[in-house]
Homo-oligomer: A and B are copies of this chain.
Amino acid sequence: MKQVTIYDIAKEAKVSAATVSRVLNNTAPVKESTRSKIMQIIHKYQFQPNALARSLLKKETGTIGVIMPDITNPFFPEVFSGIDRAASEMGYTFFLCDTLGDTRKESQYLHMLREKQVDGILFLGGRINLSKCDPELAEEVVETASRIPTVLINGNLPGTSLHRVILNEAKGAEMATQFLIDAGHRSIAFIAGNEEMTTTAQKVRAFRRVMKKNGLEAAKDSVLYGDYSMASGESSMEKILARRERPTAVFCVNDLTAVGALKAAMKAGVSVPDEVSVIGFDDIPLASAIYPELTTVSQRMDLLGGTGVQVLHKMILKEKVKMLTVIEPELVVRNSTRNLR
């Protein structure tokens, strides 16, 4: 049976959850007739607010701010879903703040979230993904984190010590590159994102490292920079296909870019995976919804978001929690890659 929450009690009594809370915790006077109606419903369901719900109702606001750079990139809504699902039992509501990666908007949101007295902040993207972050911007996050529990998801601010939950992106890029090499590919291109962002920089380094380890050359032009969008994947793939010597496989910094790359190949009449293999990164729902279904590296977005909010929840309850939690990526082999052996 589904557990009864104070929201159910409130609904049935036709009062607000705050009123139910007042009755339960005796924190403020409630009209006698209302109180007795609420108590009847509480007895009817043998409702017992748990310690957590009690703490939420008594002390905290029950809201968490989630700062992310681009909700039109499906990776972020998926992480948010993971956060939401994992936290549904905890009774939090979430304010999602879309920053467009604009550090000024990030500052505004940090300011607003403090003003609104959220219980905690989950920070994704933007300044925490810059290879070189302005010390003032880093300091702003440190300052906020000293007042409000804050967790960085998939990011870092060098020189600071903040709680972080990350997917091992370098490892994921190594897995993808090694998978292609093991399948017999010798000439591999990498469609990357912005050069100054760690999510690209880490993967590019891992790609070059694995190529070298296998005695293969990753020529300078084997890495094409872009901006993580489908359009960027399409135009990079067009450039690759126009080359006199085409690679037999293309590794893409994320699935959106890979979808764009697939489109460019189809438009050019180049068969995937028969003539060129394509591998993505993230495993957004789209990856398995297109044809051919995309081989990719799963960022386990559900687990990433869920772990982030669990770490934050412990911090809010002042429990001990590790500074760094690392989630391991998974290779998901589908139909966009071909074994040449």
A84: B residues at CB distance < 8 A: 98, 100
Q: Is residue A74 within 8 Å, beta carbon to beta carbon, of the partner chain?
A: yes
Q: Is residue A259 within 8 Å, beta carbon to beta carbon, of the partner chain?
A: yes
Q: Is residue A263 within 8 Å, beta carbon to beta carbon, of the partner chain?
A: yes
Given A71-B71, A74-B72, A263-B291, A96:B95 Cβ within 8 A? yes
Within 8 A of B (CB), among A62-103: 62-63, 71-72, 74, 77-78, 80-81, 84, 93-98, 100
Given A81-B72, A108-B7, A234:B289 Cβ within 8 A? yes
Interface residues on A, range: 35 or more
Whether B98 and A80, one on each chain, are in contact in the complex, defined by CB atoms closer than 8 angstroms, is yes
Whether A96 and B93, one on each chain, are in contact in the complex, defined by CB atoms closer than 8 angstroms, is no
Whether A286 and B285, one on each chain, are in contact in the complex, defined by CB atoms closer than 8 angstroms, is no
Q: How many copies does the complex hold?
A: 2
Given A112-B93, A260-B289, A290-B290, A11:B104 Cβ within 8 A? yes
Q: Is residue A339 within 8 Å, beta carbon to beta carbon, of the partner chain?
A: no
Which one, B11, B80, B95, contacts A95 given CB within 8 A?
B95
Q: Is residue A225 within 8 Å, beta carbon to beta carbon, of the partner chain?
A: no
Within 8 A of B (CB), among A180-221: none
Which one, B109, B266, B290, contacts A93 given CB within 8 A?
B109
Whether B289 and A230, one on each chain, are in contact in the complex, defined by CB atoms closer than 8 angstroms, is yes
Whether A230 and B285, one on each chain, are in contact in the complex, defined by CB atoms closer than 8 angstroms, is yes
User: Shortest CB–CB separation between residue A294 and chain B, in angstroms?
Assistant: 12
Q: Is residue A48 within 8 Å, beta carbon to beta carbon, of the partner chain?
A: no
Whether A259 and B290, one on each chain, are in contact in the complex, defined by CB atoms closer than 8 angstroms, is yes
Which one, B7, B61, B230, contacts A286 given CB within 8 A?
B230
Whether A262 and B285, one on each chain, are in contact in the complex, defined by CB atoms closer than 8 angstroms, is no
A289: B residues at CB distance < 8 A: 230-231, 234, 259-260, 263
A13-51 to B contact mask, C-beta < 8 Å, 1/0: 010111000000000000000000000000000000000
Complex Cα gap A62–B115 (Å) = 11
Whether A93 and B81, one on each chain, are in contact in the complex, defined by CB atoms closer than 8 angstroms, is no
Complex Cα gap A164–B71 (Å) = 24
Q: Is residue A116 within 8 Å, beta carbon to beta carbon, of the partner chain?
A: yes
The residue of chain B having its C-beta at the shortest distance from the C-beta of A85 within the complex is B100
Complex Cα gap A259–B290 (Å) = 7
Complex Cα gap A107–B18 (Å) = 13
Whether B100 and A97, one on each chain, are in contact in the complex, defined by CB atoms closer than 8 angstroms, is no
The residue of chain B having its C-beta at the shortest distance from the C-beta of A292 within the complex is B266
Given A230-B289, A234-B289, A97:B98 Cβ within 8 A? no
**Contact surface of A with B, Cβ cutoff 8 Å:** 7, 11, 14, 16-18, 61-63, 71-72, 74, 77-78, 80-81, 84, 93-98, 100, 104-105, 107-109, 111-112, 115-116, 136, 230-231, 234, 259-260, 262-263, 266-267, 285-286, 289-291
List the 3 closest A-B pairs by CB distance, nearest first: A96-B96, A230-B289, A95-B95
Beyond the given A81-B98, A263-B290, A266-B291, please list 5 additional residue pairs across the A-B interface where CB-CB is below 8 A.
Answer: A7-B104, A14-B136, A71-B77, A94-B97, A290-B290
